Structure 1
Amino acid sequence: MTAADVARSLGISRATVGFVLNNTRGQTISEGTRQRVFAEAERLGYRPHSAAQALARGRSKIILLALPDWPVEHTLGQHIAEASRVLEEAGYSLVTYTLHESETVRPLWEVLDPDVVMGLLPFSERDLTSMRASGISAIIPDPSSEPASWETGPSIIAGPELQVQHLAGLGHRRVAFAAPDDARLARIIEARFAVVKDCAAKLGLTAPGHRYISLHDSSAQLALKEWLAAGITGVVAYNDETAAAVVAAAIRENVAVPGDLAVVGHDDNPWAELFVPSLSSIRFDIEGLGRQIAMNALAAVDGRVTPAEDPTPIATLVRREST
């Protein structure tokens, strides 16, 4: 069904129907006619033609968020949900798209013609070339400026620093780092471990080692035995899932938590408080970071400069039974 079908059914001009459906200003169309148009459009099942509307107004009202090939855990999911909410209030739709090393289909920015393409990490030259060929000029991070190193950004540093400082403040001098056994997270795990080592050195702690923990095998039990043999009394976990795996292994081995081993997680998943013993964790202002993503996108739509670096995240340590 098109606007012309609505006009034909009502016996009025196509222009009148177009003015009503598009809420065109400066027209003297009676309220009665407006209501008849809306009612008939609904009865006939009329839906706006999005591609035609985008062509007419020069905007698709779509923001494309390109995600790294990371698992969508609690924190990232909440980022996206809040960004989507803010953009929706401004009349835009947020579409997410996961970037893979070997693309077998056309990139989504070539299909959707989004107003803005955003990435959590800087885009590759191959992707930038594809975007420019598609006529996309609003790209975040801005490829024309020197990209800040995300490995040393506040969103990476804040959490691990608080974790190490917390354990050190409780008197732990030998700590270890536990990370999920997921190759997709290799770069961010390496970046966080570097922060853990640096913070431990500044506090005079023994240089920490690290172990990869799977949720589906005995790696947590094996790591636990090695840590206890080496005199490790505190564990910095990459996330709450890894922290839970370590604590569960300790319980099975009759190791007291936190008496023999203190464990602190990261991300403050909703279930961290329900786990027994409840997990100490790092809580971020997730909604604030999600809103920042949305505001950067809206600034790019309007041609305004967006911040070159992430805003400093508000991170706090939530102390629970595991420490």
Structure 2
Amino acid sequence: MAKQTSVPASITSADVARLAGVSRATVSFVLNDTPGHRVSETTRVRVRDAARQLGYVPHAAARSLRAGRSNLVLMPASISAIGRLVSDWVDDLHSELDRHGYTAVLHAGRFADPLDAARAWAEMRPAAVVAMDGDRFGGRAAELLRRAGVRGLLAFAAQPVEGVHTVGFDHARIGATAAGHLIGRGRSRIGVVMPLERGLGTLAEPRLAGAESVAARHMATVTPLELAYSRESATALARRWRSLGLDAVFAYNDEYGALLLHALRAEGVSVPDEVAMVGCDDLVLSALQQPALTTVRLDLPSAARIADTVHELIETGTAPEVAPVEAVLVHRETS
């Protein structure tokens, strides 16, 4: 019979208070930075040293109950699929939310139904939800979250979302900007990369639609091109490139663009002579390619501005409008 391992008892604030020689209330005041309570610096140091020595960490849920509200800002994990540009921006947003005393958490669930997603988010009782793919966010989902006590709802979306503080982020405009530039450079047979990685389809499809809308007005054609983010997939596409009869490609973003650019060059397909190319995000790597990659820069509102907006929504229920994300063409050598 296997020997059972005993589970050590959890360290509590009472243990910290006993070691520090203070009351549990004083421990709470110090470790939760409770305003309005005078505690000497000597006592604060003693309490923190005791907590550190015992390995005590305050209970977030209990602290939220005492405060009457959560300090969590929930962000659906689909943001991780948007790309390095937005991922880096989200890292900055985490820091800015921390400045306001909030803890940003990623929710990894994937839901076909927005209401199912809202129910899962509501179970965590966050103070706010920030959705980067807000086009799936509807009024019913927003109402469900509000009934659960979520005070701040902010979404990046192409159109205003009922009951949600919406920041304009139209992925169709990205595709339209790329296609418009390629057509303006004399190209008329445009391929649009459709990444095969999970979660990217919801962003790639409106970018394809934006490219198609521009092409339809200029007697140009658009061909979707499935591509996985792997050397093997890019090589396979590059080897059949000439059979596709395309003279341009919008590569979804700079990372897929760099991948495809190297594969095309390895197969002897000249860029931009045979194929003009546009990426997106204006990452550092785009300017370092040979030839340098033309791209669409996304002018995002600052992480500090979004954190301030979320804080105002939580505190007051309203906040000033935030300027939409702008798509700006950065012309380099691949087009």
Which residue does 2:7 correspond to in 1?
none
Report the more deviating stretch, 68-77 or 295-304.
68-77
Residue in structure 2 matching 1:270, options 276, 284, 299: 284
Whole-angstrom CA distance in 1 between matches of 2:38 and 2:303: 42
Within 2, Cα distance between the matches of 1:250 and 1:26? 65
- Where do residues 300-319 of structure 1 align in structure 2 (5 Å cutoff)? 300-306=313-319, 311-319=323-331
Determine the structure 2 residue equivalent to 1:220: 237
SS at match of 1:302: helix
Give the letter for the 2:262 counterpart: A
- Alpha-carbon distance between aligned partners in 2 of 1:306 and 1:128, rounded to the nearest angstrom: 17
**2:334 matches 1:322:** yes
- Structure 1 residue 293 displacement after superposition: 4.0
Q: Secondary structure at the match of 1:95?
A: strand
CA deviation digits over 1:233-291, x for unaligned, max 9?
222221223323432343233222112221111122332233333322112234x3544
CA gap of 1:92–1:225, structure 2 versus 1, over 3 A, is same
Residue aligned with 2:206, SS: helix
Among candidates 223, 241, 257, match of residue 271 of structure 2:
257
Distance 1:200 1:290, change over 3 A: farther
Cα distance change on mapping 1:194 and 1:24 into 2, 3 Å:
closer
- Matches of 2:284 and 2:221 in 1, distance apart? 32
3-state SS of paired residue (2:105): strand
Classify 1:48/1:176 alpha carbon distance in 2 versus 1 (closer, same or farther; 3 Å): closer
Supply the distance in 1 between the matched residues of 2:69 and 2:191 (Cα, whole angstroms): 51
CA contact (8 A) 1:84 1:94 kept: yes
2:6 is matched with: none
- How far apart are 1:322 and its partner, in Å? 1.7
Specify the code of the residue in structure 2 equivalent to 1:60: S
> Separation in 1 of the partners of 2:27 and 2:163?
47
1:115 and 2:132 are equivalent in the alignment: no
> Is 2:249 the partner of 1:235?
yes
Q: Does 1:89 align with 2:99?
A: yes
Distance 1:178 1:251 in 2: 17
Give 1:81 deviation, angstroms. 1.2
State the TM-score, normalizing by the size of structure 1.
0.78
Specify the code of the residue in structure 2 equivalent to 1:320.
Answer: R
Give per-residue Cα distances to partners, 1:197-217, cap 9 Å, x unaligned: 222344x34233332233433
Aligned 8 A contact 2:73 2:126 in 1: yes
Opposite residue 155 of structure 1, the aligned amino acid is D
Q: Secondary structure at the match of 1:159?
A: helix
Report deviation, 1:94: 0.8
2:75 matched to 1:65?
yes
Cα pair 1:181 1:213 within 8 Å, conserved: yes
TM-score in terms of structure 2 length? 0.75
Do the aligned partners of residues 126 and 182 (structure 1) sit closer, same or farther apart at CA in structure 2, a change above 3 Å counting?
farther
Q: Which runs of 5+ in 1 are unaligned?
A: none
| 1:179–1:242 CA contact under 8 A, matched in 2 | no
Cα distance, 1:319 vs. partner? 2.7
Deviation at 1:301, TM superposition (A): 1.1
**Match of 1:9, as an amino acid?**
L
Alpha-carbon distance, 1:131 to partner: 4.4
| Aligned residue in 2 for 1:193 | 208
**Is the 2:294–2:331 Cα contact (8 Å) retained in structure 1?**
yes
Q: Cα distance 1:47–1:170, how it changes in 2: closer, same or farther (>3 A)? A: same
